[in-house]
Amino acid sequence: MFASIAGLPAHPLLVHLSVVAAPLGALLLLLWALVPRWRRGLRATTVGVNAVALLASVIAKSTGEALLPAMGLSEHAPGQVGPHAQYADLLVVAVGLALGASACLYAAERWLTPERFARRDTLLLVLRVLAMGFAVFALVMTALTGHAGAQLVWGNFPE
């Protein structure tokens, strides 16, 4: 990936897309799973937002890794950046799971009919429960990753 944009570190410039897309995708997934009348309208949007969230999270993670040498650190010796980097690893997993759940749920709702799959309702229930769990995981990891990053930047900010 790249470390800078127009001479500025790329990570703080690009991380904001992940900060917005990851929780938005997770919230849409929760709404899709919990509000039956909104399901049809949220399907494609939720999958799309979660795809953007995964891409944004991977880009944010890799630009963060590219920033380490400028700080005199490395992936093997991340210093005080370590907790933030570990949370970022888990955030990518969480958003990937949210995307996977939304894609599976989309496919099941759209193409499985009771005639094709007798246990469709059971499968949809299981997928919705998994989706809610992955959505909560993504929300928690977004908060933890963002908080750890903010502590690195603003940790000594006077109150």
pLDDT surpasses 80 at 156: no
C-alpha span between 108 and 102 (Å, rounded):
10
Q: In this predicted structure, what is the pLDDT of residue 86?
A: 97
C-alpha span between 133 and 152 (Å, rounded):
29
Query: Is the CB of residue 3 less than 8 Å from the CB of residue 63?
Result: yes
Q: Which two tokens stand for residue 114?
A: 């009771």
Mean confidence (pLDDT) of the chain: 94
pLDDT tens digit sequence for 64-80: 999 999 899 998 999 99
The answer for residues whose C-beta is within 8 angstroms of residue 53's C-beta and 6 or more apart is 18, 21, 22, 24, 25, 26, 95, 98, 99, 138
Q: List, in order of start, the domains of the chain with CATH numbers.
A: 11-69+79-153 (1.20.120)
pTM summary value: 0.93
pLDDT tens digit sequence for 97-117: 999 999 999 999 999 998 888
pLDDT tens digit sequence for 38-59: 999 999 999 999 999 999 999 9
